[in-house]
């Protein structure tokens, strides 16, 4: 954790605006340079999850990462968040090497990670409270975000009393309430039904539009990634590395259900699928090989 105040990027932004171009504003939001991660398996062998990752996410950019299941997408996010350290290469956030958890990063997990013993309001208050914000102010900010995700009426419920979509909204509010510069999302909507997923995607775009934060959105759903992102990163079959990066030139603001029907969307889809499909096939064949 960066307890050193001089390394605080927001401090740097104010103290050195006119001297040497501040690293803070000129550097991209996220930069991976040859980053790799190997886990030690219980048997003691090394298992490479990701390797040679080179990736740049600009400020305010919405980047979607697609790749076959198990290729290493989640691992990539944990490297950026600081939950795990890379075993190779470098991971930079706002020009600084990641060391521990960065307070400017928000993370929406694939599985439910709301605290089941806290009410909805208390869950959204958790972030500010953990960061030492006074209770009254935390409550006010939490109520504001609950209103934005449409859960005001559910403030006093416990998570088990909500639907899956509502729980995801709680997770979104709990993440946005901390005002993250960088938003990492790990297949956040994969557990939801199709209609709810489209609805949540639109809501996410609305919420994001107001913040100017940079987003890395991991998914295995290619349609979702094109509908949401400025840039789609295709990863190879595991151990993953970046295979290709596609720029999505669809105009914003977008509505995911409508954008899907545009001819340009279909064109882009076909183009990316020709790249991704191959990796998916490789993964599938490997799976079949294991099963055999």
Ligand X SMILES: Nc1ncnc2c1ncn2[C@@H]1O[C@H](COP(=O)(O)OP(=O)(O)O)[C@@H](O)[C@H]1O
Query: Dihedral of CA 58/83/225/238: which sign?
Result: positive
Stretch that binds Mg ion, among 51-59, 67-75, 114-122, 160-168 (CB under 5 A): 67-75
Kindly tell me which residue out of 12, 55, 67, 74 binds Mg ion, with binding defined by CB under 5 A.
74
Stretch that binds another protein, among 24-32, 156-164, 267-275, 284-292 (CB under 8 A): 156-164
CB atoms within 10 A of CB 26: 10
Burial of 1 (0-12, 13-18, 19+ CB in 10 A): exposed
Q: 3-state DSSP call for residue 247?
A: strand
Stretch that binds Mg ion, among 68-76, 163-171, 228-236, 262-270 (CB under 5 A): 68-76
Measure Cα distances from 253 to 13, 137, 185, 201 in Å. Answer: 30, 32, 20, 12
Q: Pick from another protein, ligand X, Mg ion, none: which does 70 bind, CB < 5 to 8 A by kind?
A: ligand X
Binding mask 55-84 for another protein (x = CB under 8 A): --------------------------x-x-
Q: Pick from ligand X, Mg ion, another protein, none: which does 72 bind, CB < 5 to 8 A by kind?
A: ligand X
Q: Which residues contact 132 (CB under 8 A, 6 or more apart)?
A: none
Burial of 136 (0-12, 13-18, 19+ CB in 10 A): exposed
Interaction site with Mg ion (CB under 5 A): 74
Interaction site with another protein (CB under 8 A): 81, 83, 101, 103, 105-107, 109, 111-119, 126-127, 130-131, 158-160, 174-175, 178
């Amino acid at each position: 954790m960066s307890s050193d105040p001089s390394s605080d990027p927001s401090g740097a932004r104010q103290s050195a605006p006119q001297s040497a171009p501040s690293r803070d504003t000129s550097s991209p939001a996220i930069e991976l340079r040859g980053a790799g991660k190997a886990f030690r398996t219980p048997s003691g062998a090394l298992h490479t999850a990701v390797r040679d990752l080179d990736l740049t996410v600009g400020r305010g950019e919405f980047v979607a990462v697609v790749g076959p299941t198990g290729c290493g997408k989640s691992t990539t996010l944990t490297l950026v968040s600081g939950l795990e350290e890379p075993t190779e290469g470098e991971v930079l956030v706002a020009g600084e090497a990641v060391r521990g958890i960065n307070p400017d990063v928000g993370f929406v997990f694939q599985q439910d990670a709301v605290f089941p013993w806290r009410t909805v309001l208390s869950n959204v208050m958790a972030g500010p409270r953990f960061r030492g914000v006074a209770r009254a102010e935390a409550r006010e900010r939490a109520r504001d975000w609950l209103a934005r995700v449409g859960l005001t009426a559910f403030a006093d419920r416990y998570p088990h009393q909500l639907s899956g979509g509502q729980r995801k909204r709680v997770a979104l509010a709990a993440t946005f309430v901390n005002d993250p510069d960088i938003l990492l999302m790990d297949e956040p909507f994969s557990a939801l039904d199709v209609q709810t997923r489209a609805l949540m995607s639109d809501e996410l775009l609305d919420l994001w539009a107001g913040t100017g934060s940079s987003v890395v959105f991991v998914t295995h759903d290619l349609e979702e990634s094109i509908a949401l992102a400025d840039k789609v990163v295709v990863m190879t079959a595991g151990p993953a590395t970046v295979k290709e990066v596609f720029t999505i030139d669809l105009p914003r603001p977008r509505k995911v259900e409508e954008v899907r029907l545009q001819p340009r969307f279909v064109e882009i889809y076909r183009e990316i699928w020709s790249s991704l499909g191959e990796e998916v096939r490789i993964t599938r064949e490997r799976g079949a090989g294991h099963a055999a």
